[in-house]
Amino acid sequence: MTTAQSEALFHRAQQSIPGGVNSPVRAFRAVGGTPRFIARGEGSHIFDVDGNEYIDYVCSWGPLLLGHRPKPVIDAIASVLDLGTSFGAPTSREVELAELIIDAVPSIEMVRLVNSGTEACMSALRLARGVTGRELTVKFEGCYHGHVDSLLVKAGSGIATLSLPDTAGVPRCFSETTLALPFNDLDRVETAFHEHGDRIAAVIVEPVAGNMGCIPPQPGFLQGLRRISNHYGALLIFDEVMTGFRLSRGGAQALYGVAPDITTLGKIIGGGLPIAAYGGRADLMKRLAPAGPVYQAGTLSGNPVAVTAGIAMLRYLEQHPEVYETLDKISAEIVAGLPADVRVNRAGSMFTIFFQPGPLADYAAARRSDTARFGRFFHELLNRGVYFPPSQFEAAFVSTEHRPDDVVFTRKAIREALAAASA
Ligand code: KE4
């Protein structure tokens, strides 16, 4: 497999773009080697600039539930290109997408469209603070909600202490508005609320974590967050940027039967174009400008071309509810029967193969994985034409376009790569 073109492009890119990429995980730093520069995608496959073909399990980090270039989305985009690309004024299609989201996610009565998951999470937190008049946030270690200043934190040393910055550039006064707790640990949530309850505006959580690898909630965890938030008058925010419309049309909240106050969405709702959203109870959302005092804005929010892609995506899912059973079967087949020295965590069409025997229910446990062996595994797979996420702490995604021959090919490659990585 030659990677000469990717290597040359990566060298060139590093002269003009920090790290040569527009998002750090793409640089392969966690696994080493040269990131593949992708020329095109088709169905479940991507093709790099050297002509190498891969079965794609990154799927643009989640948006491509229907694979690359799904006909309904591509046709919809093509049909609007001669109408204009952006107006900075309301359009009927934004209303249509809002109504599709509200129809699919029962806890959402009103929704605001934005351009990224980061923006959705940042804005949801500001709304929660504005509505409650409180300043603190509870988040969970290993959960990622975009590069929101106050959420790029690591847990403080004490059992309920305020957090420390986890990146350069975030002032202590920002990180100290956040409590970072272990995922799946309700006792720690109770303690934090016992200490700070009247100052906590919101709890924000990935209802099924995907950003420390895939880690589902343990029984009762989400229900406990709902109970505790209610008791102390804090808002519960489900960050469903990854799980929304992936785990079901109603997201993880529909599967687990827990209704948050605010939900953030992204990825799939844009059909591969930059659309995200946050929504919730109407009484909360009406506190947003221009209806209310909490300001949030965006030049390209509800962009008509991106919204058109999102409408096509959500309409397809509305008309084909069977896709979720199909997706579940595909991902189950791919990871069935792996050896006991690796641990598979799976939730529907997202999964992670952890390089440890497990079980694992939080970030501290996930970090005990053998990341060096994961790196070798990743490259053994890549050299066999299977493109997994380039980090142990990410989730792999399947699409409706991952066909039976992709599954057979991938299962064989995984077994060979596991053996080679163990040598
Ligand atoms: P964006 O700002 O990247 O659109 O969304 C941030 C975000 C928020 N919430 C959740 C649950 C997310 O998974 C994300 C972004 N996910 C990562 C993948 N782990 C995006 C990949 C990247 O950063 O390049």
Residues 366, 283 share a domain: no
Query: 315 and 327, same structural domain?
Result: no
Domain check: are 143 and 75 in the same one?
yes
Q: What is the pLDDT of residues 341-390, one digit of tens each?
A: 999 999 999 999 999 999 999 999 999 999 999 999 999 999 999 999 99
My answer on whether 327 and 286 are in the same domain is no
Question: Which CATH number goes with the domain that contains 81?
Answer: 3.40.640.10
Cβ-contact 227, 190 below 8 angstroms:
no
Residue 114 alpha carbon to ligand 1 centre in Å: 14
Closest CA to 410 of 67, 57, 28: 57
Mean pLDDT of 139-162: 88
- 48 and 88 within one domain: no
Domain boundary among 304, 319, 334: 319
Give the number of the atom of ligand 1 that is nearest the alpha carbon of residue 274: 4
CATH code of residue 21: 3.90.1150.10
- Among the three residues 269, 294, 319, which one is the final residue of a domain in this structure? 319
**Taking residues 207-222, what's their average pLDDT?**
98
Atom 17 of ligand 1: nearest residue by CA position? 61
- Are 41 and 159 in the same domain? no
Domain extent for 121 = 71-319
Residues 43 and 97 in one domain: no
Band of the pLDDT at 156, cuts 50, 70, 90? confident
In this prediction, what percent of the chain has a pLDDT beyond 70?
100
Q: Hey, whose CA ends up nearest to atom 19 of ligand 1? A: 211
Ligand 1 pocket mutation pick from 22, 61, 183 by most atoms within 8 angstroms of CB: 61
Average pLDDT, the chain: 97
- Listed in sequence order, the DSSP H helices in 138-297 are 172-175, 186-196, 221-232, 251-256, 282-285
Among residues 271, 301, 319, the one where a domain terminates is 319
Determine the distance separating the centroid of ligand 1 and the alpha carbon of 264, expressed in angstroms: 11
How confident is residue 265, by pLDDT bands cut at 50, 70 and 90? very high
Ligand 1 atom closest to residue 23's alpha carbon, by position in its atom list: 24
Active-site positions read: 144, 239, 267
Nearest CA to ligand 1 atom 15: 146
Instruction: Please write the tens of the pLDDT for every residue from 296-310.
Output: 999 999 999 999 999
pLDDT number for residue 1:
87
Q: Give, as one character, the DSSP assignment of residue 236.
A: E
Give the per-residue pLDDT at 163: 87
Which of 59, 60, 114, 118 most suits a substitution to test ligand 1, by most atoms within 8 Å of the C-beta? 118
Ligand 1: list residues with CB < 6 Å: 23, 25, 61, 116-118, 121, 144-146, 206, 210-211, 239, 241-242, 266, 276, 394
Q: According to the model, what pLDDT value does residue 165 have?
A: 87
pLDDT, mean of residues 114-127: 98
Q: How confident is the model at residue 423 (pLDDT cuts 50, 70, 90)?
A: confident
Calculate how far, in angstroms, residue 23's C-alpha sits from the geometric centre of ligand 1: 10
Helix (H, G, I), strand (E, B) or coil at 387: strand
163 compared with 369, residue with greater pLDDT: 369
Range in 162-166, 330-334, 376-380 with the lowest mean pLDDT: 162-166
- Give the pLDDT score at 161: 77
- 416 and 381 part of one domain: yes
106 and 92 in a common domain? yes
401 contacts: CB under 8 Å, gap ≥ 6: 43, 44, 66, 67, 68, 70
The residue whose CA is least distant from atom 1 of ligand 1 is 117
Residues 179 and 311 in one domain: yes
Total structural domains within the chain? 2
For ligand 1, atom 24: residue with the closest CA: 23
126 lies in the same domain as 253: yes
Alpha helices in 282-366 (DSSP H): 282-285, 304-319, 323-335, 363-366
- β partners of residue 56: 387
Mutate to test the pocket of ligand 1, among 242, 268, 363 (most ligand atoms within 8 A of CB): 242
Q: Give pLDDT tens digits for 316-327.
A: 999 999 999 999
Ligand 1 atom with the smallest distance to the CA of 266 is 4
- On whether both 145 and 205 belong to a single domain, the answer is yes
Mean pLDDT of 133-154: 96
Q: How confident is the model at residue 107 (pLDDT cuts 50, 70, 90)?
A: very high
164 has a pLDDT exceeding 90: no
Of residues 161, 155, 217, 159, the one with CA closest to residue 188: 159
pTM higher than the cut 0.85: yes
